[in-house]
Chains A and B, each alone.
Chain A
Amino acid sequence: MSKPERKLIDEINPALTSLLYQLADDDFILAYRGSEWLGLAPHIEEDVAFSSISQDTMGHAAMFYQLLQDFGEGDVDHLAHGRKSSERKNAVLLEMVNGPGHYLSTAQYDWAFAVIRNYFYIQSKKIRMDSLKNSSYQPLAEVAVKVNMELYYHLLHWKTWFVQLMEAGGEARSRMEAAVKKTLADFGGVLSLGPLAKEMGEQGLIEEEEILKQRWFLMMKPIFESVNLTVSEADFAMKNGNGRKGEHTADLDAALSTLSEVYSADPAASW
């Protein structure tokens, strides 16, 4: 079966930049949340594994920001550290705090939420990368191939946690179910490609939003069934806002002020 020939996109346009900002901002803020977990994971082995995943994810964000820089959108460090929350396009789910407390002193982070948020997100990211491998924007297709190689391990990692804790019963099960509920209430934002989704599909940048969403379901269904969990499409919502449109929570503002504290002291300096 021969594939229809891809028509390559080689110039900047709003749908392409919007897609790149979503990919970069999603990974950047989730990697930041991951870095707050450092030293606080349930055991030392997990600390090593989780920080390795966060590091990969930060690396992916850097690659996506680089594509934007190549387009003249500004320096990568400005893109990562210097943009206001209203300019950010990440899904709101990914900016939400890890749990109560501050990452340096009183952190009482929620491991169940960490597992669910990461597992559901990484599966969605994997589906996007698979689709982007055929993107009409060649540099993005090349980045997707690189990112994809690491996602295999990330997905395996979070799936293992998900199944183990779901099957443990008792307190673990009820904490996990609460985290599923919390995650799904904003998971609509993760699966959304934003206001320019239609143009992205038409230009062949990525497949249509609905196709990607169905693929996510298809991948997750057997896992959900194996742990006796019911999830339906009606559960997907954007309870705390549509990040793709620049709607965000106070959690993001607080995160941005922490992560850009040193950068903002002198954005022109060489650090």
Chain B
Amino acid sequence: MSEATLYQEWTDEQKYAHFMKRIEVGEKIEADDWMPEDYRMTLIKLISMHGISEIMGALPEKEWVPKAPSLKRKLGIMAKVQDEMGHGQLLLRVAEDLMKPLGRTREDIMQDLFSGRLKFHNVFHMEAPTWGDAGLIGWLVDGAAIITQTNMLNASYGPYARALKRICAEEVFHAQHGEAIIMALAEGTEKQKVMVQDAVNRWWEALLMFFGPGDASTTGTSKQDITIKYKIRTKTNEDLRQDFFTKYIPRVLSLGLTLPDETMYFDQEKNLWVYKQPDWNKFKNIIKNNGPKSNERLSLRRTAYDTNKWVREALNTAN
């Protein structure tokens, strides 16, 4: 193949080989570059789910924004949840560029969310009944998110990698914000200590599920292999869960909190945390929008979307 051959005249096989070579050497793929269909579809699914999860993720915390117990905490949580919405917007823009050749838009993303075709992260289907949960979400859920997102910072798709870089930087502040809330509670009155321990107990299983099942046997499908093949991510779900344990278990214990899994220990020989598996059937149900708060949150989002329809129509007229 001579240099002079026009790229447009290449066969799909040639383009594929060239694409794989590019990602092998660490080059970034950009929105207008040629990419295999399954790469595009995997990215659309991954990034639109990530984006919409950031947006749906604002809802469990939303309850606690007006209720935060001091001016300082109110300002902190307002800033935090605003960041999450900002991440959602940034990611949806990345997904929109990928969807453009398919003739799909933001409106399709929203409709897919409402119809259940587009899932949002299992962790955001859960209840957050106390201020302790607000702190715990910031600390451990955002902490878990930092671990999964750091795993994709070198993703082969340039626009996603760049968005994640900014998101991870902000998530670090969120985890500090959450940790500050949790520390105040853990060092506070008896009632406050109970509040934070209850939150840990309530969220433990959801935190294990956060990283997804170890392999495809749980849900029938898994994108782990294809995302690793295309260098979107490097580590498996189980690797990430282990990283989370290593980072956070000492911190949880140092605050005088206990883990709701008495069987858990670190196996020095295998260099692995051994723990009780969450109920993966529950997980399957949650991601089908049958979690404790799935319907309420979807319905809140849908009602707002419908109530504001006139605004979007007016903007379309004006443009």
Contacts and interface: CB of A to CB of B under 8 A. Distances in A.
B23 interface: no
B207 interface: no
A270 B71 contact: no
B56 to A, nearest CB: 8
Contacts of B311: 42, 111, 165, 172
Contacts of A232: none
B314 A172 contact: yes
B77 to A, nearest CB: 9
Given A39-B55, A62-B75, A44 B85 contact: yes
A61 B311 CA distance: 30
Contacts of A61: 71
A58 B62 CA distance: 16
Contact of A51 (B68, B69, B72, B82): B82
Nearest to B79: A55
A107 B303 contact: yes
Contact of A109 (B65, B71, B307): B307
Contact of A271 (B63, B73, B79, B307): B73
Interface in B58-81: 58-59, 62-75, 78-79, 81
B78 A170 contact: no
Contacts, number: 149
Interface stretch (B27-35, B184-192, B277-285): B184-192
A170 B307 contact: no
Interface stretch (A7-15, A203-211, A213-221, A261-269): A261-269
Interface stretch (B41-49, B86-94, B146-154): B86-94
Given A59-B75, A271-B70, A105 B88 contact: no
A169 B81 CA distance: 34
Nearest to B76: A55
A54 interface: yes
A141 B296 CA distance: 46
Interface residues of B, number: 51
Contact of A107 (B74, B92, B187, B304): B304
Nearest to A62: B71
B78 A35 contact: yes
B66 to A, nearest CB: 5
B300 to A, nearest CB: 6
Contacts of A172: 310-311, 313-314, 317
What size tier do the contact residues of chain A reach?
Answer: 35 or more
B70 A48 contact: no
Contacts of A76: 71
Contacts of B82: 48, 51-52, 55
B96 to A, nearest CB: 11
B301 interface: yes
Contact of B67 (A51, A105, A106, A258): A258
Most chain A beta-carbon neighbours within 10 Å: one of B86, B192, B303, B307: B307
B78 A54 contact: yes
Contacts of B169: none
Contacts of A32: 66
Interface in B265-319: 296, 299-301, 303-304, 307-308, 310-315, 317-318
Contacts of B62: 38-39, 103-104
Contact of A108 (B307, B315, B318): B307
B303 A38 contact: no
Contacts of A262: 64, 67-69, 131
Contacts of B70: 77, 80-81, 263, 271
Most chain A beta-carbon neighbours within 10 Å: one of B63, B78, B92, B192: B78
Given A38-B65, A39-B59, A42-B308, A48 B303 contact: no
A266 B189 contact: yes
A237 to B, nearest CB: 27
Given A47-B85, A48-B86, A108-B307, A165 B71 contact: no
Nearest to B301: A39
A43 B314 contact: no
Interface in A65-112: 65, 76-77, 80-81, 99, 101, 103-109, 111
Nearest to B135: A271
Nearest to A161: B311
A48 B89 contact: yes
Interface in B11-61: 55, 58-59
Contact of B78 (A40, A43, A44, A51): A51
Given A80-B71, A258-B66, 4 more contacts: A39-B58, A105-B296, A269-B188, A271-B185
18 contacts: A35-B66, A38-B58, A42-B315, A44-B88, A59-B75, A77-B71, A101-B303, A103-B66, A111-B308, A164-B314, A170-B314, A172-B313, A172-B317, A262-B64, A270-B184, A270-B188, A271-B181, A271-B185
Interface of A: 32, 35-36, 38-45, 47-48, 51-52, 54-55, 58-59, 61-62, 65, 76-77, 80-81, 99, 101, 103-109, 111, 164-165, 167-172, 175, 258-259, 261-263, 265-266, 269-271
Interface of B: 55, 58-59, 62-75, 78-79, 81-82, 85-86, 88-89, 92, 131, 181, 184-185, 187-189, 191-192, 296, 299-301, 303-304, 307-308, 310-315, 317-318
The 9 residue pairs across chains A and B that have the minimum distance between CB atoms: A168-B314, A172-B314, A40-B304, A271-B69, A262-B69, A42-B311, A42-B308, A51-B82, A55-B78
